[in-house]
Structure 1
Amino acid sequence: MKVADLVELTRAPAAFSIPGDAWSGAAHTVASGAGGRGWAMPLASACLYWSGMALNDWCDREVDAVERPERPIPSGRISPGAALGVAAGLGAAGLGIAALLGGRSALAVSAPLALMVLAYDAAAKDAPIGPLAMASTRGLDVLLGAHASPAAAWQPALAMTAHTAGLTWLSRGEVHGTRPEVAAAVTAGTVAVAAATAHAAFHDPQAGRAARLAGVGLSGAYALVVGRAQARAALDPTADAARTATRTGIGGFSLLQGAWLARRGRLGAAAAVVGAGPAYRALSKRWSPT
């Protein structure tokens, strides 16, 4: 198994969208020191994410043989058994890292997260509840960063959940094209998430002026970058437009996460998350993140 094939199987570049989930959750914990180890949770999150991507291709191997024969399993570059082994190994690693770094409270969040990843890939993906099932994994990922006090991070968790639901809904048109009404509804959802995020940042009494401005600015950038790509898919509902909007939406996680981090005054973390965007875009040109 070549490293390049493993990178493609796990959609490794998309992991650049992962750290901001846990970090935004950790930034919203209210207990003193509660978010400390939450900053290390992206290690567990990345393993669980890569596990889900490998499992996704294992579950879709027969469909991909017809629709996407260039993928690692149908092309013969990775055997189905090896792909399943990668998925299982990464899943176990993710749970182990979460338990090691965060103890029982982290395991109490990471275990349901792993189960939702499994449920989505194995059963829910093509069901009507598929987008909600996928969205719940990103919401739980935020809560994993806030595992010591998860209720404190409900706002960024809800924002990430809503963004992922729309992203997943639109991604269903990557092969055969989407519908204008679907892309329009997803665009409206993106604008609503951006507005709610900007409102929360601007009216946060604990945020300083710089944090408020950064939160509002990043919310606007998120609406512009992600919403514009989705609006284009509404006007031109082709498979290419849907794929472009989906990839842009994955990259847009960094802007949304950055806005929630900035709201809590974590401007350095916000800059790091947003700064990962160019790396994601560069790598996604070689390895598809979807």
Structure 2
Amino acid sequence: MKIIGFAIIVGLLRVLSILPYSWVARFGSGIGGALYLIPSRRKRIVLINLGLCFPLKSANERDILGRDHFRQVIRSYFERGIQWYGSAQSLTKRITIESSIDLSDANAPPTIFMDFHFVGIEVGCLLYSTRQPVAALYSPMSNVRLCELARKQRGRFGAEMVERGSSARKVIALLRAGTPVMLAADLDHGAANSVFVPFFGVPACTLTSVSRLAKVAGARVVPFVTEVLPGFKGYKLTIFEPLIDFPSGNDTTDARRMNAFLEAQILRFPEQYYWVHRRFKHRPAGLPGVY
């Protein structure tokens, strides 16, 4: 049965990849809006996260934001068909790039591209790999077949996929060899190699891997964000200036800066951040769980 289910998923993604982008986006958005009407664990997580991060918003405002988020996140799953099976040309024509650094600089220093879990994260990474060699860290899924499919399709334009948690030496070697590494450190992966720093005023278990890898490899840290444009017009990939004095030598200071940067981006389009994740899964000693 598992094999049949996997075959159905692959078949659906392939069908979605040949349909007009606006059709797929609108359909996914509609399904997301409908699913929000049904009580679910994910809806509960979204509303808890929004309540913690936006306490000054009314319950109705948070409900509207939660509905808009469900539309965006379910839509992004349907758009995986285009992202995983569409041509490089079809992806390129749907994305606008705004970069504060020279992406063609052959003498660029070792670079960590610091990404964040917005709904457009997938397409931004894929697009960059069509232009330049790159490596990307990923977290394995519980479903082995689906995990292998995601790893293969995410790396189909030449990106080297590195499993999160594998030897840091490999990542450092890639950086020193001149291959940029993409990683997102804005999820709660547990207390190991993490510190508790504020995220919208709430203590959040935040990875220190970005600053530690940057220090060892002598790498610059360049934030980038992919946003979904309104009106079903595609996406915009924004690559920012490298962070100044990062790493600072203090993991807590660096984690605070990372979260502060992320907060500023979330406020631009809050419905596009992955509120479905349990961002506050682990809590400092003495504080009760929230989920």
Report the TM-score, using the length of structure 1 for normalisation: 0.29
**Structure holding more strand per residue:** 2
Report the TM-score, using the length of structure 2 for normalisation: 0.29
**Structure holding more helix per residue:** 1
Whichever of the two has the greater Rg, that structure is: 2
